[in-house]
Structure 1
Amino acid sequence: MTDGNRLANILPESECWNLMSSMSLGRLITAADGQPEVFPVNFAVQDRGVVFRTAEGTKLVSSAINRNVLFEVDDHDAAQGWSVIVRGVARILHSDEEIDVAKETGLRPWVSTDKEHYVRIRPVRVSGRRFVFDRTPSPL
């Protein structure tokens, strides 16, 4: 946590998971056609992993081809903010058992499009920081 003398603090992994669990919108960072791409997705945390749904298209293809992904979640208010980054491996869920487990999250698409594919990101590394916003005016 913040100790008052520092404006940025590294978060323990357990707090990163707690913070991510309190949110429902994150960003999938991957590559498509060799170019970096960022996709906002609604998600759920389940068993120390990230689950999201997607339709056919770039997110699904890039999750299959570029399995190494980043996933970022953050939040802030007027006094402080935080950011958590999950470096992991994305995998499209195929078996009925895997999909049934993912459905237990209650994850629903935000828009009325058919997002029948579930993707799970298994973390390789989770890191996070909390920032206290410095409101001291900078000298000119």
Structure 2
Amino acid sequence: MPMTQAHFHDLKDAGVLVTGGGSGIGASLVEAFAMQGAKVAFIDIAEEPSLALVRRLSATAPHPVHFFKTDLSDIPAIGRTVEAAASATGGLKVLVNNAAWDDRHDIDTVTEAYWDANQAVNLKQMFFTIQAALPHLRKAKD
């Protein structure tokens, strides 16, 4: 039986930003939003898979997909990147905070420096990405 895909008309031409969009679940989210006709931008630190995703989607997505290489532990860079993504997509209606660092460690090997680096990617950046995107999301609500 052929698979059918739901189509969400409210995503057509909507600006979407996905963090950690270059591979895995994030890449699937980027592709799904793009296929809905959204104007998608994504942030990732991994350049090679991100550029490959952009190349692959350029053949089928209704709008160009924009990749921004950014280290999400760099808070000022998050603000600049969110502004660039909003500009590239004509505003932001959707933010998906997907980025994470799932690096498993034995509890006995976790140092304070490791803990801080882990939290910078898995927690801290989520707040500051929301904070940077909020003016755009509020504007889209109007």
Higher relative contact order (CA 8 A, sep 6+): 1
Q: TM-score, normalising length from structure 1?
A: 0.31
Larger Rg: 1
Q: TM-score, normalising length from structure 2?
A: 0.30
In terms of fraction of residues, the more strand-rich structure is 1
In terms of fraction of residues, the more helix-rich structure is 2
